[in-house]
Structure 1
Amino acid sequence: MKKVLFLLLFANVLSAQKMQTLTYFKNDTLQLDLDLYMPDKKPSGKLPLMIFVHGGGFSGGQRLQNASFCQYLAQHGFAAATISYTLYMKGKKFSCDGILTEKVKAFKFGVNDLWLATSYFLQNKEKFNLDDSKIFISGSSAGAETVLHAAYWDRNLMKMYEHNLPPDFKYAGLVSGAGAIMDLNLITDKNIIPMFFFHGNGDGTVPYGTAAHHYCKTDASGWLMLFGSYSIYNYALAKNASAELYTYCGGGHEYSGWLFEKEQQKIVDFLEKIMVGEKIQSHTIVKTGKKNELSCAYGFCD
Protein backbone atom coordinates (compact mmCIF):
# COMPACT_ATOMS: atom_id res chain seq x y z
CA MET A 1 0.00 0.00 0.00
CA LYS A 2 2.81 2.40 0.91
CA LYS A 3 4.52 1.64 -2.40
CA VAL A 4 1.32 2.45 -4.32
CA LEU A 5 0.90 5.74 -2.46
CA PHE A 6 4.54 6.64 -3.17
CA LEU A 7 4.12 5.92 -6.88
CA LEU A 8 0.98 8.04 -7.01
CA LEU A 9 2.75 10.89 -5.21
CA PHE A 10 5.72 10.59 -7.57
CA ALA A 11 3.43 10.65 -10.59
CA ASN A 12 1.75 13.79 -9.28
CA VAL A 13 5.12 15.48 -8.78
CA LEU A 14 6.14 14.63 -12.34
CA SER A 15 2.82 15.99 -13.60
CA ALA A 16 3.31 19.21 -11.67
CA GLN A 17 6.77 19.64 -13.21
CA LYS A 18 5.20 19.74 -16.69
CA MET A 19 3.16 22.81 -15.82
CA GLN A 20 4.65 26.29 -15.71
CA THR A 21 3.01 29.49 -14.51
CA LEU A 22 3.74 32.49 -16.71
CA THR A 23 2.75 36.16 -16.71
CA TYR A 24 1.16 37.03 -20.04
CA PHE A 25 0.37 40.68 -19.27
CA LYS A 26 1.52 43.23 -16.73
CA ASN A 27 1.15 46.98 -16.32
CA ASP A 28 1.18 49.37 -13.36
CA THR A 29 -2.10 48.08 -11.96
CA LEU A 30 -2.67 44.62 -13.38
CA GLN A 31 -0.87 41.28 -13.66
CA LEU A 32 -2.44 38.37 -15.54
CA ASP A 33 -1.02 34.85 -15.32
CA LEU A 34 -1.59 31.53 -17.03
CA ASP A 35 -0.66 27.92 -16.43
CA LEU A 36 0.87 26.22 -19.46
CA TYR A 37 0.84 22.43 -19.84
CA MET A 38 3.15 20.82 -22.40
CA PRO A 39 3.41 17.26 -23.75
CA ASP A 40 5.89 14.88 -22.11
CA LYS A 41 7.46 13.75 -25.34
CA LYS A 42 9.28 15.98 -27.77
CA PRO A 43 6.97 16.47 -30.76
CA SER A 44 7.95 15.75 -34.33
CA GLY A 45 6.57 19.13 -35.41
CA LYS A 46 5.06 22.29 -34.03
CA LEU A 47 2.34 22.00 -31.40
CA PRO A 48 -1.30 23.02 -31.63
CA LEU A 49 -2.37 25.23 -28.72
CA MET A 50 -5.58 25.36 -26.71
CA ILE A 51 -6.30 28.37 -24.46
CA PHE A 52 -8.99 27.70 -21.83
CA VAL A 53 -11.10 30.36 -20.05
CA HIS A 54 -12.84 29.35 -16.81
CA GLY A 55 -16.42 30.14 -15.83
CA GLY A 56 -17.78 31.94 -12.80
CA GLY A 57 -20.09 34.71 -13.99
CA PHE A 58 -17.16 37.10 -14.53
CA SER A 59 -16.99 37.45 -10.75
CA GLY A 60 -15.45 34.22 -9.50
CA GLY A 61 -13.64 31.06 -10.48
CA GLN A 62 -9.96 30.53 -11.06
CA ARG A 63 -7.69 29.18 -13.75
CA LEU A 64 -7.21 25.87 -11.90
CA GLN A 65 -10.79 25.02 -12.88
CA ASN A 66 -10.59 22.29 -15.51
CA ALA A 67 -6.80 22.10 -15.27
CA SER A 68 -7.41 18.39 -15.85
CA PHE A 69 -8.67 19.28 -19.34
CA CYS A 70 -5.37 21.01 -20.12
CA GLN A 71 -3.44 18.05 -18.72
CA TYR A 72 -5.49 15.70 -20.91
CA LEU A 73 -4.73 17.77 -23.99
CA ALA A 74 -1.02 17.81 -23.16
CA GLN A 75 -1.11 14.02 -22.97
CA HIS A 76 -2.57 14.02 -26.49
CA GLY A 77 0.02 16.23 -28.16
CA PHE A 78 -1.29 19.73 -27.45
CA ALA A 79 0.13 22.70 -25.62
CA ALA A 80 -2.69 23.86 -23.36
CA ALA A 81 -3.05 26.91 -21.16
CA THR A 82 -5.66 27.98 -18.64
CA ILE A 83 -5.70 31.72 -17.98
CA SER A 84 -6.62 34.16 -15.25
CA TYR A 85 -8.57 37.18 -16.46
CA THR A 86 -10.25 40.31 -15.12
CA LEU A 87 -13.30 39.41 -13.01
CA TYR A 88 -15.04 42.70 -13.62
CA MET A 89 -18.36 41.67 -12.04
CA LYS A 90 -16.85 40.82 -8.66
CA GLY A 91 -19.04 42.61 -6.12
CA LYS A 92 -21.51 43.60 -8.83
CA LYS A 93 -24.87 42.16 -9.88
CA PHE A 94 -24.78 40.00 -13.02
CA SER A 95 -28.40 38.85 -13.11
CA CYS A 96 -31.69 40.54 -14.01
CA ASP A 97 -31.23 43.30 -11.43
CA GLY A 98 -27.79 44.20 -12.74
CA ILE A 99 -26.84 46.96 -15.16
CA LEU A 100 -26.75 46.03 -18.85
CA THR A 101 -23.73 48.16 -19.76
CA GLU A 102 -21.77 46.66 -16.87
CA LYS A 103 -22.57 43.13 -18.09
CA VAL A 104 -21.32 43.99 -21.57
CA LYS A 105 -18.19 45.54 -20.05
CA ALA A 106 -17.49 42.29 -18.20
CA PHE A 107 -17.55 40.44 -21.53
CA LYS A 108 -15.22 43.08 -22.96
CA PHE A 109 -12.63 42.71 -20.19
CA GLY A 110 -12.59 38.91 -20.54
CA VAL A 111 -12.28 39.08 -24.31
CA ASN A 112 -9.46 41.60 -24.23
CA ASP A 113 -7.55 39.52 -21.72
CA LEU A 114 -7.92 36.48 -23.96
CA TRP A 115 -6.62 38.51 -26.91
CA LEU A 116 -3.63 39.51 -24.77
CA ALA A 117 -2.95 35.86 -23.90
CA THR A 118 -3.19 34.94 -27.58
CA SER A 119 -0.79 37.74 -28.48
CA TYR A 120 1.63 36.49 -25.83
CA PHE A 121 1.70 33.04 -27.40
CA LEU A 122 2.12 34.41 -30.91
CA GLN A 123 5.08 36.47 -29.74
CA ASN A 124 6.58 33.38 -28.06
CA LYS A 125 5.62 30.76 -30.62
CA GLU A 126 9.23 29.75 -31.27
CA LYS A 127 10.00 29.46 -27.56
CA PHE A 128 7.08 27.07 -27.04
CA ASN A 129 7.29 25.43 -30.48
CA LEU A 130 3.72 26.44 -31.39
CA ASP A 131 1.90 26.23 -34.71
CA ASP A 132 0.31 29.67 -34.99
CA SER A 133 -2.24 28.36 -37.50
CA LYS A 134 -3.59 25.92 -34.89
CA ILE A 135 -4.53 28.09 -31.93
CA PHE A 136 -7.87 27.05 -30.42
CA ILE A 137 -9.88 28.65 -27.62
CA SER A 138 -12.33 27.10 -25.17
CA GLY A 139 -14.33 27.96 -22.10
CA SER A 140 -17.31 27.13 -19.92
CA SER A 141 -20.20 29.46 -19.05
CA ALA A 142 -18.70 32.97 -18.77
CA GLY A 143 -15.55 31.54 -20.32
CA ALA A 144 -17.58 30.23 -23.26
CA GLU A 145 -19.17 33.65 -23.73
CA THR A 146 -15.67 35.08 -23.69
CA VAL A 147 -14.30 32.78 -26.39
CA LEU A 148 -17.32 33.30 -28.66
CA HIS A 149 -16.95 37.08 -28.55
CA ALA A 150 -13.16 36.86 -28.82
CA ALA A 151 -13.60 34.94 -32.06
CA TYR A 152 -16.16 37.29 -33.61
CA TRP A 153 -15.92 40.79 -32.15
CA ASP A 154 -14.12 43.44 -34.19
CA ARG A 155 -10.74 43.56 -32.47
CA ASN A 156 -10.11 47.21 -33.35
CA LEU A 157 -13.55 48.40 -32.31
CA MET A 158 -13.61 46.49 -29.00
CA LYS A 159 -9.99 46.65 -27.91
CA MET A 160 -9.02 48.02 -24.50
CA TYR A 161 -5.29 47.28 -24.75
CA GLU A 162 -2.80 47.02 -27.58
CA HIS A 163 -3.01 43.27 -28.10
CA ASN A 164 -0.77 43.23 -31.22
CA LEU A 165 -2.76 40.51 -32.97
CA PRO A 166 -2.25 40.55 -36.75
CA PRO A 167 -5.28 41.93 -38.67
CA ASP A 168 -5.71 38.63 -40.52
CA PHE A 169 -5.40 36.40 -37.45
CA LYS A 170 -8.17 33.85 -36.89
CA TYR A 171 -8.49 31.16 -34.26
CA ALA A 172 -8.43 27.63 -35.66
CA GLY A 173 -11.63 26.77 -33.81
CA LEU A 174 -13.42 27.05 -30.49
CA VAL A 175 -15.10 24.88 -27.86
CA SER A 176 -18.02 26.37 -25.94
CA GLY A 177 -19.60 24.81 -22.84
CA ALA A 178 -22.99 26.47 -22.23
CA GLY A 179 -21.98 29.66 -23.97
CA ALA A 180 -23.82 32.31 -25.96
CA ILE A 181 -23.21 35.34 -28.14
CA MET A 182 -24.94 38.74 -28.11
CA ASP A 183 -25.54 38.95 -31.85
CA LEU A 184 -25.49 36.20 -34.49
CA ASN A 185 -24.66 38.85 -37.09
CA LEU A 186 -21.18 39.09 -35.58
CA ILE A 187 -20.53 35.72 -37.26
CA THR A 188 -19.96 36.23 -40.97
CA ASP A 189 -18.96 34.13 -43.95
CA LYS A 190 -15.51 35.72 -43.71
CA ASN A 191 -14.77 35.20 -40.02
CA ILE A 192 -16.62 31.97 -39.15
CA ILE A 193 -14.47 29.19 -37.67
CA PRO A 194 -15.16 25.55 -36.67
CA MET A 195 -17.16 25.37 -33.44
CA PHE A 196 -17.91 22.64 -30.90
CA PHE A 197 -20.78 23.20 -28.47
CA PHE A 198 -22.25 21.35 -25.52
CA HIS A 199 -25.20 22.65 -23.54
CA GLY A 200 -28.11 21.49 -21.41
CA ASN A 201 -31.32 22.50 -23.17
CA GLY A 202 -32.92 23.18 -19.78
CA ASP A 203 -30.28 25.78 -18.86
CA GLY A 204 -31.99 28.65 -17.03
CA THR A 205 -28.85 30.79 -16.79
CA VAL A 206 -27.37 30.90 -20.29
CA PRO A 207 -30.05 30.15 -22.88
CA TYR A 208 -29.64 27.05 -25.00
CA GLY A 209 -31.55 28.74 -27.84
CA THR A 210 -32.41 32.43 -28.13
CA ALA A 211 -33.60 34.21 -24.99
CA ALA A 212 -32.60 36.80 -22.42
CA HIS A 213 -29.71 36.04 -20.07
CA HIS A 214 -31.24 34.39 -16.97
CA TYR A 215 -34.56 34.62 -18.86
CA CYS A 216 -34.98 38.14 -17.47
CA LYS A 217 -38.20 40.04 -18.12
CA THR A 218 -37.90 42.77 -20.74
CA ASP A 219 -38.24 45.56 -18.15
CA ALA A 220 -35.25 44.27 -16.16
CA SER A 221 -32.26 46.61 -15.80
CA GLY A 222 -29.95 43.71 -16.67
CA TRP A 223 -31.92 42.48 -19.68
CA LEU A 224 -29.52 41.09 -22.30
CA MET A 225 -30.57 39.03 -25.30
CA LEU A 226 -28.30 36.05 -25.99
CA PHE A 227 -28.05 33.45 -28.73
CA GLY A 228 -27.04 30.13 -27.20
CA SER A 229 -25.46 26.97 -28.53
CA TYR A 230 -28.49 25.66 -30.43
CA SER A 231 -29.04 28.97 -32.20
CA ILE A 232 -25.37 29.38 -33.12
CA TYR A 233 -25.13 25.76 -34.28
CA ASN A 234 -28.07 26.15 -36.65
CA TYR A 235 -26.71 29.48 -37.86
CA ALA A 236 -23.37 27.79 -38.63
CA LEU A 237 -25.12 25.01 -40.55
CA ALA A 238 -26.96 27.59 -42.63
CA LYS A 239 -23.53 28.93 -43.59
CA ASN A 240 -22.35 25.35 -44.31
CA ALA A 241 -19.60 25.70 -41.70
CA SER A 242 -18.14 23.04 -39.41
CA ALA A 243 -20.06 22.76 -36.17
CA GLU A 244 -20.78 20.04 -33.64
CA LEU A 245 -23.34 20.16 -30.83
CA TYR A 246 -23.97 17.90 -27.84
CA THR A 247 -27.38 18.57 -26.32
CA TYR A 248 -27.86 17.30 -22.76
CA CYS A 249 -31.61 16.81 -22.81
CA GLY A 250 -33.18 18.25 -19.68
CA GLY A 251 -29.83 19.35 -18.33
CA GLY A 252 -29.32 22.73 -16.70
CA HIS A 253 -26.30 24.96 -16.31
CA GLU A 254 -24.51 22.23 -14.38
CA TYR A 255 -23.53 20.79 -17.78
CA SER A 256 -21.41 23.84 -18.66
CA GLY A 257 -18.19 21.99 -17.84
CA TRP A 258 -19.32 18.43 -18.53
CA LEU A 259 -17.12 17.48 -21.48
CA PHE A 260 -14.13 19.42 -20.13
CA GLU A 261 -14.33 17.36 -16.94
CA LYS A 262 -15.71 13.96 -17.94
CA GLU A 263 -15.47 13.27 -21.67
CA GLN A 264 -12.44 15.16 -22.95
CA GLN A 265 -11.79 12.68 -25.76
CA LYS A 266 -14.87 13.93 -27.63
CA ILE A 267 -13.24 17.36 -27.80
CA VAL A 268 -9.88 15.92 -28.85
CA ASP A 269 -11.61 13.99 -31.64
CA PHE A 270 -13.19 17.22 -32.90
CA LEU A 271 -9.90 19.12 -32.79
CA GLU A 272 -8.01 16.39 -34.62
CA LYS A 273 -10.62 16.26 -37.38
CA ILE A 274 -10.52 20.03 -37.80
CA MET A 275 -6.72 20.04 -38.01
CA VAL A 276 -6.78 17.66 -40.98
CA GLY A 277 -9.46 19.71 -42.72
CA GLU A 278 -12.44 17.43 -42.13
CA LYS A 279 -15.89 18.99 -42.39
CA ILE A 280 -18.06 18.33 -39.33
CA GLN A 281 -21.79 18.89 -38.98
CA SER A 282 -23.15 16.79 -36.15
CA HIS A 283 -25.78 17.04 -33.42
CA THR A 284 -25.86 14.44 -30.65
CA ILE A 285 -28.74 14.38 -28.17
CA VAL A 286 -27.85 12.86 -24.81
CA LYS A 287 -30.63 11.82 -22.43
CA THR A 288 -30.07 12.83 -18.82
CA GLY A 289 -33.29 11.59 -17.26
CA LYS A 290 -34.12 15.20 -16.40
CA LYS A 291 -37.03 17.21 -17.69
CA ASN A 292 -38.26 20.77 -17.34
CA GLU A 293 -40.31 23.34 -19.18
CA LEU A 294 -37.33 24.92 -20.93
CA SER A 295 -35.87 21.69 -22.25
CA CYS A 296 -39.11 20.30 -23.61
CA ALA A 297 -39.74 23.46 -25.60
CA TYR A 298 -37.27 22.14 -28.18
CA GLY A 299 -39.03 18.81 -28.61
CA PHE A 300 -36.03 16.67 -27.63
CA CYS A 301 -37.59 15.19 -24.49
CA ASP A 302 -40.35 13.15 -26.13
Structure 2
Amino acid sequence: MKKHLLLLFVLLFSITAKAQEFKTLTYFVNDSTKLELDLFIPKKQGKEKSPLLIHVHGGGFAVGTREWGHHIAKHAASQGYVAASISYTLYMKDKKFSCDGILSEKVKAFQIAANQLWQATLFFIKNSEKYNIDTSKIFISGSSAGAETVLHATYWNRDLMNIYPDKLPASFKYAGVISGAGAIMDLNLITKKSVIPMLLFHGSCDPTVPYGTAAHHYCPTNVSGWLMLFGSYSIYNHILDLDGNTKLVTYCNGGHEYSDELFSKDPQTVVDFMNNTLNSKKEQSHIIISTNKECKKPNGYSFCD
Protein backbone atom coordinates (compact mmCIF):
# COMPACT_ATOMS: atom_id res chain seq x y z
CA MET A 1 0.00 0.00 0.00
CA LYS A 2 2.76 2.43 0.95
CA LYS A 3 4.58 1.57 -2.27
CA HIS A 4 1.49 2.36 -4.33
CA LEU A 5 0.98 5.65 -2.50
CA LEU A 6 4.61 6.58 -3.11
CA LEU A 7 4.30 5.83 -6.82
CA LEU A 8 1.11 7.89 -6.97
CA PHE A 9 2.83 10.80 -5.24
CA VAL A 10 5.78 10.65 -7.66
CA LEU A 11 3.40 10.57 -10.62
CA LEU A 12 1.38 13.52 -9.36
CA PHE A 13 4.54 15.48 -8.60
CA SER A 14 5.84 14.79 -12.11
CA ILE A 15 2.58 15.91 -13.70
CA THR A 16 2.47 19.04 -11.54
CA ALA A 17 6.09 19.91 -12.31
CA LYS A 18 5.45 19.52 -16.02
CA ALA A 19 2.30 21.63 -15.80
CA GLN A 20 4.19 24.41 -14.08
CA GLU A 21 6.95 24.40 -16.68
CA PHE A 22 5.04 26.62 -19.12
CA LYS A 23 1.81 28.53 -19.57
CA THR A 24 -0.44 28.10 -22.59
CA LEU A 25 -1.80 31.44 -23.77
CA THR A 26 -3.97 32.62 -26.64
CA TYR A 27 -2.08 35.21 -28.66
CA PHE A 28 -4.49 35.79 -31.55
CA VAL A 29 -8.23 35.42 -32.14
CA ASN A 30 -10.52 36.45 -34.99
CA ASP A 31 -13.76 35.09 -36.45
CA SER A 32 -12.09 32.03 -37.95
CA THR A 33 -8.82 31.50 -36.11
CA LYS A 34 -7.59 30.99 -32.56
CA LEU A 35 -3.85 30.65 -32.03
CA GLU A 36 -1.97 29.64 -28.89
CA LEU A 37 1.58 29.63 -27.63
CA ASP A 38 3.42 27.92 -24.80
CA LEU A 39 5.31 30.44 -22.68
CA PHE A 40 8.38 29.56 -20.64
CA ILE A 41 9.41 32.09 -17.98
CA PRO A 42 12.85 32.13 -16.32
CA LYS A 43 12.62 30.93 -12.73
CA LYS A 44 14.59 33.96 -11.61
CA GLN A 45 14.06 37.32 -13.26
CA GLY A 46 16.03 40.34 -12.13
CA LYS A 47 14.95 43.96 -12.11
CA GLU A 48 16.06 44.36 -15.70
CA LYS A 49 13.66 43.26 -18.41
CA SER A 50 14.38 39.96 -20.13
CA PRO A 51 15.09 39.25 -23.79
CA LEU A 52 12.52 37.13 -25.64
CA LEU A 53 12.82 34.18 -28.03
CA ILE A 54 9.81 33.19 -30.17
CA HIS A 55 10.15 29.79 -31.88
CA VAL A 56 8.26 28.46 -34.92
CA HIS A 57 8.14 24.69 -35.44
CA GLY A 58 8.63 22.92 -38.77
CA GLY A 59 6.49 20.42 -40.64
CA GLY A 60 6.06 21.70 -44.20
CA PHE A 61 3.20 24.03 -43.14
CA ALA A 62 1.10 20.85 -42.99
CA VAL A 63 1.95 19.07 -39.73
CA GLY A 64 3.65 19.76 -36.41
CA THR A 65 2.82 21.25 -33.04
CA ARG A 66 4.26 23.90 -30.79
CA GLU A 67 5.47 21.11 -28.47
CA TRP A 68 8.20 20.52 -31.07
CA GLY A 69 9.76 23.78 -29.94
CA HIS A 70 9.71 23.06 -26.23
CA HIS A 71 13.34 21.90 -26.13
CA ILE A 72 14.80 25.22 -27.30
CA ALA A 73 12.24 27.31 -25.41
CA LYS A 74 12.86 25.47 -22.15
CA HIS A 75 16.63 25.80 -22.50
CA ALA A 76 16.45 29.49 -23.38
CA ALA A 77 14.28 30.10 -20.31
CA SER A 78 16.85 28.32 -18.15
CA GLN A 79 19.38 30.87 -19.42
CA GLY A 80 17.32 33.95 -18.56
CA TYR A 81 15.20 34.36 -21.69
CA VAL A 82 11.45 34.54 -21.79
CA ALA A 83 10.69 31.99 -24.52
CA ALA A 84 7.62 30.95 -26.47
CA SER A 85 6.82 28.21 -28.96
CA ILE A 86 3.85 29.15 -31.11
CA SER A 87 1.13 27.39 -33.06
CA TYR A 88 0.20 28.75 -36.48
CA THR A 89 -2.19 27.85 -39.29
CA LEU A 90 -1.04 24.70 -41.10
CA TYR A 91 -2.21 26.02 -44.44
CA MET A 92 -0.71 23.22 -46.54
CA LYS A 93 -2.52 20.44 -44.69
CA ASP A 94 -4.18 18.22 -47.31
CA LYS A 95 -2.49 20.29 -50.04
CA LYS A 96 0.53 19.44 -52.18
CA PHE A 97 3.74 21.21 -51.16
CA SER A 98 6.15 19.53 -53.56
CA CYS A 99 6.77 19.84 -57.31
CA ASP A 100 3.16 19.06 -58.25
CA GLY A 101 1.79 21.70 -55.89
CA ILE A 102 0.68 25.23 -56.76
CA LEU A 103 3.21 28.05 -56.48
CA SER A 104 0.76 30.65 -55.20
CA GLU A 105 -0.34 28.26 -52.44
CA LYS A 106 3.26 27.83 -51.29
CA VAL A 107 3.74 31.59 -51.10
CA LYS A 108 0.43 31.95 -49.23
CA ALA A 109 1.58 29.40 -46.65
CA PHE A 110 4.72 31.48 -46.05
CA GLN A 111 2.65 34.66 -45.83
CA ILE A 112 0.08 33.36 -43.34
CA ALA A 113 2.73 31.91 -41.02
CA ALA A 114 4.84 35.08 -41.15
CA ASN A 115 1.79 37.21 -40.37
CA GLN A 116 0.90 35.03 -37.41
CA LEU A 117 4.45 35.32 -36.12
CA TRP A 118 4.06 39.09 -36.38
CA GLN A 119 0.86 38.77 -34.35
CA ALA A 120 2.67 36.73 -31.69
CA THR A 121 5.34 39.43 -31.60
CA LEU A 122 2.68 42.11 -31.25
CA PHE A 123 1.09 40.15 -28.39
CA PHE A 124 4.37 40.31 -26.47
CA ILE A 125 4.91 43.97 -27.25
CA LYS A 126 1.45 44.75 -25.87
CA ASN A 127 2.12 42.57 -22.80
CA SER A 128 5.77 43.44 -22.28
CA GLU A 129 5.21 44.83 -18.79
CA LYS A 130 3.22 41.79 -17.71
CA TYR A 131 5.96 39.36 -18.79
CA ASN A 132 8.91 41.67 -18.08
CA ILE A 133 10.14 41.71 -21.69
CA ASP A 134 12.59 44.10 -23.32
CA THR A 135 10.94 44.68 -26.71
CA SER A 136 14.24 45.77 -28.27
CA LYS A 137 15.61 42.28 -27.59
CA ILE A 138 13.18 39.98 -29.39
CA PHE A 139 14.72 37.05 -31.29
CA ILE A 140 12.88 34.64 -33.57
CA SER A 141 13.85 31.10 -34.50
CA GLY A 142 12.46 28.31 -36.63
CA SER A 143 13.11 24.90 -38.13
CA SER A 144 12.36 24.02 -41.78
CA ALA A 145 8.97 25.61 -42.53
CA GLY A 146 9.46 27.55 -39.31
CA ALA A 147 12.80 28.78 -40.61
CA GLU A 148 11.19 29.97 -43.85
CA THR A 149 8.62 31.71 -41.67
CA VAL A 150 11.16 33.58 -39.54
CA LEU A 151 13.28 34.58 -42.54
CA HIS A 152 10.34 36.09 -44.40
CA ALA A 153 8.93 37.64 -41.23
CA THR A 154 12.29 39.35 -40.78
CA TYR A 155 12.79 40.70 -44.29
CA TRP A 156 9.42 41.04 -46.00
CA ASN A 157 7.87 44.48 -46.34
CA ARG A 158 5.28 44.25 -43.57
CA ASP A 159 2.96 46.86 -45.12
CA LEU A 160 2.95 44.98 -48.41
CA MET A 161 2.55 41.47 -47.00
CA ASN A 162 0.32 42.20 -43.99
CA ILE A 163 -3.08 40.44 -43.85
CA TYR A 164 -4.35 41.44 -40.37
CA PRO A 165 -5.61 44.83 -39.11
CA ASP A 166 -3.23 45.11 -36.15
CA LYS A 167 0.33 45.83 -37.23
CA LEU A 168 3.73 45.90 -35.62
CA PRO A 169 5.16 49.39 -35.08
CA ALA A 170 6.77 50.66 -38.28
CA SER A 171 10.11 51.08 -36.52
CA PHE A 172 10.14 47.59 -35.00
CA LYS A 173 13.07 45.34 -35.85
CA TYR A 174 13.93 41.89 -34.51
CA ALA A 175 17.18 41.62 -32.57
CA GLY A 176 18.26 38.49 -34.43
CA VAL A 177 17.06 35.38 -36.24
CA ILE A 178 18.02 31.70 -36.00
CA SER A 179 17.20 29.54 -39.02
CA GLY A 180 17.43 25.74 -39.19
CA ALA A 181 17.37 24.49 -42.82
CA GLY A 182 15.55 27.57 -44.02
CA ALA A 183 15.52 29.59 -47.21
CA ILE A 184 14.25 32.91 -48.54
CA MET A 185 12.55 33.63 -51.85
CA ASP A 186 14.52 36.79 -52.62
CA LEU A 187 18.03 37.61 -51.42
CA ASN A 188 17.48 41.23 -52.45
CA LEU A 189 15.20 41.60 -49.42
CA ILE A 190 18.34 41.47 -47.26
CA THR A 191 20.06 44.83 -47.56
CA LYS A 192 22.59 46.83 -45.56
CA LYS A 193 19.66 48.66 -44.00
CA SER A 194 17.53 45.61 -43.19
CA VAL A 195 20.15 42.99 -42.27
CA ILE A 196 20.15 41.75 -38.68
CA PRO A 197 22.35 39.19 -36.86
CA MET A 198 21.67 35.69 -38.18
CA LEU A 199 22.59 32.19 -37.05
CA LEU A 200 22.04 29.65 -39.81
CA PHE A 201 22.43 25.87 -39.80
CA HIS A 202 21.75 23.41 -42.58
CA GLY A 203 22.66 20.03 -44.03
CA SER A 204 24.67 20.66 -47.18
CA CYS A 205 22.85 17.92 -49.13
CA ASP A 206 19.32 18.82 -48.10
CA PRO A 207 17.01 17.50 -50.88
CA THR A 208 14.01 19.50 -49.66
CA VAL A 209 15.15 23.03 -48.83
CA PRO A 210 18.27 23.93 -50.83
CA TYR A 211 21.43 24.66 -48.89
CA GLY A 212 22.58 26.94 -51.71
CA THR A 213 20.43 28.39 -54.49
CA ALA A 214 17.99 26.04 -56.21
CA ALA A 215 14.32 25.29 -56.64
CA HIS A 216 12.32 24.00 -53.67
CA HIS A 217 12.60 20.19 -53.74
CA TYR A 218 14.90 20.72 -56.79
CA CYS A 219 11.80 20.81 -58.97
CA PRO A 220 12.21 21.21 -62.74
CA THR A 221 11.18 24.59 -64.13
CA ASN A 222 8.17 23.24 -66.05
CA VAL A 223 6.12 22.13 -63.04
CA SER A 224 3.34 23.94 -61.17
CA GLY A 225 5.16 23.98 -57.82
CA TRP A 226 8.44 25.46 -59.04
CA LEU A 227 9.80 27.96 -56.51
CA MET A 228 13.33 29.32 -56.46
CA LEU A 229 14.85 29.52 -52.99
CA PHE A 230 18.07 30.89 -51.53
CA GLY A 231 19.23 28.63 -48.71
CA SER A 232 21.57 29.08 -45.77
CA TYR A 233 24.83 28.99 -47.74
CA SER A 234 23.60 31.65 -50.18
CA ILE A 235 22.20 33.80 -47.37
CA TYR A 236 25.45 33.52 -45.41
CA ASN A 237 27.59 34.63 -48.34
CA HIS A 238 25.20 37.47 -49.13
CA ILE A 239 25.43 38.74 -45.55
CA LEU A 240 29.23 38.56 -45.73
CA ASP A 241 29.06 40.77 -48.82
CA LEU A 242 27.02 43.22 -46.73
CA ASP A 243 29.58 42.92 -43.90
CA GLY A 244 26.80 41.77 -41.58
CA ASN A 245 26.81 39.69 -38.42
CA THR A 246 26.33 36.00 -39.25
CA LYS A 247 27.29 32.46 -38.35
CA LEU A 248 26.72 29.35 -40.46
CA VAL A 249 26.89 25.78 -39.17
CA THR A 250 27.07 23.28 -42.04
CA TYR A 251 26.38 19.58 -41.52
CA CYS A 252 28.55 18.25 -44.32
CA ASN A 253 26.57 15.94 -46.64
CA GLY A 254 23.66 16.00 -44.20
CA GLY A 255 20.05 16.11 -45.36
CA HIS A 256 16.89 17.78 -44.11
CA GLU A 257 17.03 15.73 -40.92
CA TYR A 258 19.42 18.37 -39.53
CA SER A 259 16.77 21.10 -39.60
CA ASP A 260 16.27 20.89 -35.82
CA GLU A 261 19.82 19.91 -34.87
CA LEU A 262 20.90 22.94 -32.84
CA PHE A 263 17.50 23.46 -31.28
CA SER A 264 17.22 19.90 -29.99
CA LYS A 265 20.83 18.78 -29.49
CA ASP A 266 22.93 21.92 -28.98
CA PRO A 267 20.61 24.71 -27.80
CA GLN A 268 23.43 26.45 -25.95
CA THR A 269 24.92 27.45 -29.32
CA VAL A 270 21.67 29.30 -29.99
CA VAL A 271 21.77 31.00 -26.59
CA ASP A 272 25.44 31.90 -27.02
CA PHE A 273 24.64 33.52 -30.35
CA MET A 274 21.84 35.58 -28.80
CA ASN A 275 24.04 36.57 -25.86
CA ASN A 276 26.84 37.65 -28.19
CA THR A 277 24.37 39.67 -30.23
CA LEU A 278 23.06 41.43 -27.13
CA ASN A 279 26.66 42.16 -26.11
CA SER A 280 27.36 43.66 -29.57
CA LYS A 281 29.87 40.95 -30.47
CA LYS A 282 30.06 40.71 -34.24
CA GLU A 283 30.67 37.31 -35.80
CA GLN A 284 31.40 36.11 -39.32
CA SER A 285 32.12 32.41 -39.05
CA HIS A 286 31.43 29.14 -40.84
CA ILE A 287 31.66 25.88 -38.93
CA ILE A 288 31.62 22.62 -40.92
CA ILE A 289 30.63 19.46 -39.07
CA SER A 290 31.17 16.03 -40.62
CA THR A 291 28.21 13.67 -40.75
CA ASN A 292 30.10 10.76 -42.33
CA LYS A 293 27.39 10.58 -44.98
CA GLU A 294 27.46 10.56 -48.76
CA CYS A 295 25.74 13.32 -50.69
CA LYS A 296 22.67 12.10 -52.55
CA LYS A 297 21.28 15.49 -53.46
CA PRO A 298 20.01 15.80 -57.06
CA ASN A 299 22.69 18.23 -58.23
CA GLY A 300 25.47 16.30 -56.54
CA TYR A 301 27.04 19.30 -54.78
CA SER A 302 28.21 18.77 -51.24
CA PHE A 303 29.67 22.28 -50.66
CA CYS A 304 32.19 20.79 -48.26
CA ASP A 305 34.39 18.54 -50.39
Q: TM-score, normalised by structure 2?
A: 0.94
Question: 1:242 corresponds to which letter in structure 2?
Answer: N
Deviation at 1:291, TM superposition (A): 1.3
Contact 1:36-1:80 within 8 A present in 2 as well: yes
Residue from 152, 158, 163 that aligns with 1:160: 163
**Is residue 32 of structure 2 the alignment partner of residue 41 of structure 1?**
no
- 3-state SS of 2:106 partner: helix
Contact 2:142-2:180 within 8 A present in 1 as well: yes
Alpha-carbon distance between aligned partners in 2 of 1:186 and 1:250, rounded to the nearest angstrom: 28
Alpha-carbon distance between aligned partners in 2 of 1:24 and 1:263, rounded to the nearest angstrom: 28
Alpha-carbon distance between aligned partners in 2 of 1:264 and 1:292, rounded to the nearest angstrom: 26
Question: 2:287 corresponds to which letter in structure 1?
Answer: T
Alpha-carbon distance between aligned partners in 1 of 2:64 and 2:182, rounded to the nearest angstrom: 16
The equivalent of 2:198 in structure 1 is 195
Could you give the per-residue CA deviations for residues 245-282 of structure 1, whole angstroms, max 9, x where no partner exists? 10000100000001110000111111100001010111
- 3-state SS of 1:145 partner: helix
Deviation at 1:299, TM superposition (A): 4.2
- 3-state SS of 1:222 partner: coil
The equivalent of 2:264 in structure 1 is 261
Question: 2:301 corresponds to which letter in structure 1?
Answer: A
Greater displacement, 169-178 / 40-49: 40-49
Contact 1:209-1:229 within 8 A present in 2 as well: yes
Number of positions where the alignment pairs a residue of Structure 1 with one of Structure 2: 300
Q: How does 1:1-302 map to 2 (within 5 A)?
A: 10=13, 13-294=16-297, 297-301=301-305
Deviation at 1:45, TM superposition (A): 1.0
Which ranges of structure 1 fall in alignment gaps of 5 or more residues? none
- 3-state SS of 2:193 partner: coil
Deviation at 1:13, TM superposition (A): 2.9
Question: 1:115 corresponds to which letter in structure 2?
Answer: W
Q: TM-score, normalised by structure 1?
A: 0.95
Alpha-carbon distance between aligned partners in 1 of 2:295 and 2:160, rounded to the nearest angstrom: 40
